[in-house]
Amino acid sequence: MNLSTPFIRRPVATTLLTFALALVGTLAFMRLPVSPLPEVEFPTISVTTVLPGASPETMASAVATPLERQFGRIAGITEMTATNFLGVTSITLQFDLDRDIDAASREVQAAINAARGSLPQNLPNSPNYKKVNPSDSPIMILTLLSDTLGRGQVYDVASTLLQQKLAQVEGVGQVNVGGASLPGVRVEVNPNYLNKYGLSLDDVSTVIASSNANRPKGSLSDDIRTWTISANDQLFTAEQYRKLVVAYRNGSAGSVLQSASCEEVLGHPLHEAARDGE
């Protein structure tokens, strides 16, 4: 007797068994989890460069382009995307699935070092990179509100206190703080007044930088101890820039910085700042 003999002798039972198997298969197929976009972890590295005050066009030409030239020489890159914002350039490098991400990160660091000579000399920091997973999404998004603090102060609390504490929690890989609203002063220089007083842009820049230096002013000492004299000479509002002395001509002080507006609204990305006047 072969395997098919009992099924041939009992056609009704065979038919019912066939329908039962078809029904079970249909129900199992309907409950089968199917993802339209399978979760694949592509080896991806994100490179970020910051140049405060630079326009997106400047970031694209002076920062992104030299980095892209060096990154293009790395083997195994399948996609390279650059995004330029005000003062920030972000370049995302995606590699082949079989590419070792640790080896790729070392090549990215070498490419950054090779491009350093072509980048602007006034970059506050060297470009930094980090390994990311494009399919990951934040597990938690927090919003901070305050009735007593401005947006700039709230951002300062989030970046200096809350971010550090959350990053120390076990299992947390990355904490990002967004919504920056830091105070700043924009200075517009009138070339006619510079020419009149025989000044250059470097003179104005040097005065502004030296006026914001926060350094000890000296010290007092006796036979036992020494005290350091400290005073904060930093300028925090546009109105304070109005009294800056840029240069002395014929024994008198002349300033080419004059406040254009006394509107100091806490939380604005840029305070109304100085335009030139006599």
Residue ranges of domains in the chain, CATH in brackets: 44-137 (3.30.70.1430), 138-169 (no CATH), 185-216+232-275 (3.30.2090.10)
Task: Give residue 22's pLDDT.
Answer: 92
Q: Is the pTM of this model over 0.75?
A: no
Task: Give residue 202's pLDDT.
Answer: 84
Residues in the chain where the model's pLDDT stays below 70: 1, 35-40, 134-136, 180-183, 213-216, 231-232, 249-278
Strand-pair partners of 45: 93, 131
250, 257 contact by CB (below 8 A): no
Task: Give residue 267's pLDDT.
Answer: 32
Q: Which two tokens stand for residue 77?
A: 């890159």
CA 270 to chain centre: 18
Task: Give residue 253's pLDDT.
Answer: 60
Q: How many residues does the chain have?
A: 278
184, 271 contact by CB (below 8 A): yes
CA atoms within 13 A on the CB side of 59: 20
Task: Give residue 182's pLDDT.
Answer: 65
Amino acid at 3: L
Q: Which two tokens stand for residue 150?
A: 């401005």
Which residues have C-beta within 8 Å of that of residue 131, sequence separation ≥ 6?
A: 43, 44, 45, 101, 105
Task: Give residue 261's pLDDT.
Answer: 32
Task: Give residue 156's pLDDT.
Answer: 82
Task: Give residue 274's pLDDT.
Answer: 35
What DSSP designation does 33 have?
A: -
Q: Which two tokens stand for residue 258?
A: 């004059």
CA dihedral in degrees (56, 58, 59, 61; nearest 10)?
Answer: 120
Task: Give residue 20's pLDDT.
Answer: 92
What is the C-alpha separation between 262 and 274, in angstroms, rounded? 10
Sign for the pseudo-dihedral over CA of 56, 60, 63, 68: positive
